[in-house]
Structure 1
Amino acid sequence: MITYKEALSLVLEQHLEFGTEVVPLTEAYNRVLAEEIHADRDFPPFNRATKDGIALAYEAIENGRLSFEITGVLPAGKPVIPLEEPEGCIEIMTGAVVPYETDTVVMYEHLEVDGDIATLKKIPEQGQNIHLRGSDHRKGERILPKNIRVLAAEMGVLATVGKNRVHVHKTPRIALISTGNELVEIDQTPLLHQIRRSNTYSLYGALQEEGIKPLHLHLDDDLDLMRQKLAYLIDEMDVLILSGGVSKGKFDYLPQVLEELGVEKIFHRVAQRPGKPFWFGKNRNRATLVFSFPGNPVSTFLNFYLYFIPWYFKNLGLGYEPMFVQLRKKIENPSDLTIFIGANLMIEEGILLGEILNSSGSGDLAHLSEIEGFVQLDPRKASYKKGEIVPFIPVKNHKR
């Protein structure tokens, strides 16, 4: 049995190339960019009015003029019109191109307008209310790096540079597999000795949050059937995520079958609670990775976020920085295991705190809907004090 830190390090050492593809912008949300994005022109591409009002040449004010004849109207989306008389002004709308002969925009609230004459109520600052050409980005400048997630803001940036098709990383081909004769489909009424399949539905939702639609199936505890289906999946998939069948029970066949199919065990059993029986390996020929989690709901759920998510982010080039919280109360871990306890986040006086919630154990599936993550407590003799900083593994809003 190895430590949690050793297990995570071994998982993160495994690298897979998923490849890249080009998708329409409307399908790029939540995908990871595989290209740098550069400005295709200056941003803004012209001197842009930021207020509704008049555009004028400040030199006229310096020469003592306070009233200006309106010689034209310039709305947004129309070609610029010139200011032919330096002592006049152009009525201008927000977003319009500021005429080249003008250098200041005065908003209506600071004007008295009587017919075609606009009179200043107050002296403006030269250059005010103009968003200068190229002041945000110059043509050719990088505005989005690669290996970032495309979210709402990035969608807008991609649209503004004309990227109707976007180069993104492919998502891995993943098979999500539940095991065990005690499991029945969710639309069935289980008998007294049965339960519905729930673990893999939790992970199905977690994978969908990453933009991954896995192949979802179930295997009974049948050696021949397991060999047949797993052999096919190892050949066709990048990653297998399994729930159940890796403990020490008489019908926990998975470690045996996986090794028979050429999946080399990297480790089995981690000094952690919950999730100790985790089995992890790699097929020597196809490089398929196998995350085989224990069957208890909390164990499966926790290990997915402890191991798969950091591995996945690392393979996509995304950052996954550890998160820390202050404990809200004293707690102990005198065991020889790293323990993970469900908790919620709260802020007091600007400090992020972890509020530990009680649970009935690794089978308490309903508890998972109440928590925002897990605090990590490494084994030690001394108590963890109130206010002490510890790692926190988020399971909601975990994207980086």
Structure 2
Amino acid sequence: MIDFDEAYKKVLQHTFDLGVETVALTESTGRVLAEDIKADRDFPPFDRSTKDGIALNYEAVEKGTMTFDVQGVLSAGMAQQTLPHGPNCYEIMTGAVVPNDADTVVMYEEVALENGTATISKQPRKGQNIHVKGNDEKFGAILLKKGKRISAADIGVLASVGKAEVEVKRNPKICVISTGNELVEVSETPLPHQIRKSNTLSLAAALSNENIQATSLHFLDDREIIEKELKKALKHYDVLLLSGGVSKGKFDFIPEAMEGLGVRKVFHKVWQRPGKPFWFGVQKEFKTVVFSFPGNPVSTFANYHVYFLPWLSKAMELPAVEHQVILDESIQVDPPFVRFVQVTVHWERACLRARPLKDGGSGDLTSLSKSAGFVLLRPKAKAYEKGELVTFIPTRHIV
């Protein structure tokens, strides 16, 4: 049995380089960039009009000219034109290239058009309503740094520099495994002594939020079957996430099976609740990392968020992020266990506050749908007081 901080440290010590792959731009949302994205030209690439109106040379205004001869109409997508010398202008639409020798755009609201002439109603400011070439970014500037998770807004940037394909960190191949004779398919009607599978489906759904499509398997409580199927999984996957079979029951064969397959136990059992029987190991030959969580739903869900997601972030070379909340109630945490307490949260005066959720323990599956996450509380002599700031591990998006 080891303490929580040691277990957490050991898990993060066993990350590995996932490598890089190239994916289509349309499939890159949510993936982690593995290359710096640079501007392939100035942004914007030309002086562009930000208003519908007329483009003119401000020197004419300085000389007292307020009426200009219209030379034509410019729209977005047209090649650049040249403004003839003299009291001339072009009508110009938003997004169009400002013509050579024009340096100011006056919007239609300040222009009267009549018989091929445009008269401005008030003195403009030189350079107004023009988005100057290179004003946003210069050629060669880094627009997106590697190690960033690609957002919908980033897709627009990638498209603008012609990245039809993008280098991203490879997602780990993950297999989610449940064990137990008591589990039946979701579509089945369970007998009084049976329950429907839920943990593997919850884990697979959580992984899909990370843009990872996991394979799901189920093993009966038979040591021979478990060893045979685990051997196959260890060869084909980077990570195994198991739920169940790691406690001290006579049918909990996972630890022994792992040892027989050359999976080195890093630790088994942590001073924490829920999830005390958590087993973690590595198979060096196949470079497979094994997270074997207790079978209770809350234990599995807590350990996934507390240990696996930080492991994944480090493997992806994403920065570590710590969330905090203010307690709305006092909580007593006696030694020696670290507690992961389910909470609901709400905003109050721009502060996120948490209230402990009354649940039925680590087997209370329905409590997970009510909670926003867990607060991580280390044991101490005095209770955590109302108003105290504590670590928060969200399990859903917090609005």
Q: Establish whether TM, by shorter chain, passes 0.5.
A: yes
The whole-number CA distance in structure 1 between the counterparts of 2:20 and 2:141 is 23
Report which stretch shifted further, 42-51 or 52-61. Answer: 52-61
Shift in Å, 1:15: 2.1
CA distance in 1, matches of 2:360, 2:122: 70
Residue type of the alignment partner of 2:264? E
**Please, which runs of 5 or more residues in structure 1 have no aligned partner?**
none
User: Which residue of the partner structure matches residue 24 of structure 1?
Assistant: 24
Q: Could you list the per-position Cα deviations for residues 162-218 of structure 1 after superposition, in whole angstroms to 9, with x for gaps in the alignment?
A: 010111111111111000111111111100000001001000001111121112110
Per the alignment, residue 80 of structure 1 pairs with 80
Structure 2 counterpart of 1:208, which letter? S
Structure 1 range deviating more: 244-253 or 332-341 = 332-341
| Other-structure match for 1:55 | 55
Tell which deviates more after alignment, 305-314 or 62-71: 62-71
Provide the secondary structure at the position in 1 that maps to 2:17. coil
Distance 1:385 1:245 in 2: 37
Moved more, 348-357 or 191-200: 348-357
TM-score of the two chains, using structure 1 as the length reference: 0.97
How many Å separate the matches in 2 of 1:169 and 1:36?
12
Distance 1:89 1:284 in 2: 73
3-state DSSP of counterpart to 2:133: coil
Moved more, 291-300 or 148-157: 148-157
Matches within 5 A, 1:82-97: 82-97=82-97
The corresponding residue for 2:69 is 69
Range moving further from structure 2, 288-297 or 77-86: 77-86
Q: Which amino acid aligns with 2:216?
A: H
Among the aligned pairs, what percent are the same residue?
A: 51
Query: Partners of 1:118 and 1:357 in 2: how far apart?
Result: 69
Structure 2 CA distance, aligned partners of 1:6 and 1:114? Answer: 80
Residue 286 in structure 1 maps to residue 303 in structure 2? no
Residue 128 of structure 1: how far off its partner (Å): 1.1
The residue number in structure 1 matching 2:175 is: 175
**Count, aligned residues:** 398
2:102 aligns with: 102
Structure 1 vs Structure 2 CA RMSD: 1.3
Deviation at residue 393 of structure 1 after TM alignment: 0.3
Distance 1:164 1:318 in 2: 24
**Partner Cα distance (1:303, 1:376) in 2:** 12
Letter in 2 for 1:375: V
* 1:128 counterpart = 2:105: no
1:4 and 1:227 map into 2 onto residues whose CA distance is 29
Quote the Cα distance in structure 2 between the aligned partners of 1:109 and 1:294: 69
Aligned to 2:252: 252
Equivalent-residue separation in structure 2 for 1:350 and 1:213 (angstroms)? 36
Q: Deviations over 1:20-60 (max 9, x none)?
A: 11111111121111111111111100001111111111111
CA offsets per residue over residues 333-353 of structure 1, 9 Å max, x none?
Answer: 124211112223322112222
Q: Which amino acid aligns with 2:380?
A: R
The residue that corresponds to 1:388 in the other structure is 388
1:17 positional shift: 2.2
> CA–CA distance in 2 between the matches of 1:122 and 1:374?
62
Q: Is residue 296 from structure 1 mapped to residue 296 from structure 2 by the alignment?
A: yes
- The alpha carbon displacement at 1:287 in A equals 2.1
Q: Give CA deviations for 1:202-236 in whole Å, capped at 9, x if unaligned.
A: 00001111121112110011010011111111122
Q: SS where residue 387 of structure 1 aligns? A: coil
Q: CA deviation at 1:285?
A: 2.0
> 1:159 deviation in Å?
0.5
Stretch deviating more after TM superposition (247-256 or 190-199) = 247-256
Q: Could you tell me how far apart the structure 2 residues matched to 1:363 and 1:101 are?
A: 75
**Cα displacement (A) at 1:237:** 1.3
| 1:316 partner amino acid | M
- Per-residue CA deviations over 1:217-267 (Å, capped at 9, x if unaligned) read 100110100111111111221111100001111111111110111111111
CA distance in 2, matches of 1:365, 1:100: 69
Deviation at 1:331, TM superposition (A): 2.1
Q: Please give the TM-score of this superposition, normalised by the length of structure 2.
A: 0.97
Tell me how far apart the structure 2 counterparts of residues 355 and 113 of structure 1 sit (CA, whole Å). Answer: 65
Q: Secondary structure at the match of 1:9?
A: helix
Taking the aligned partners of 2:344 and 2:114, their CA distance within structure 1 comes to: 61
Q: 1:337-389: per-residue Cα shift (whole Å, max 9, x none)?
A: 11112223322112222233222211121221222211111111112122211
**1:53-74 deviation digits (Å, cap 9, x = unpaired):** 1111111111112222221110
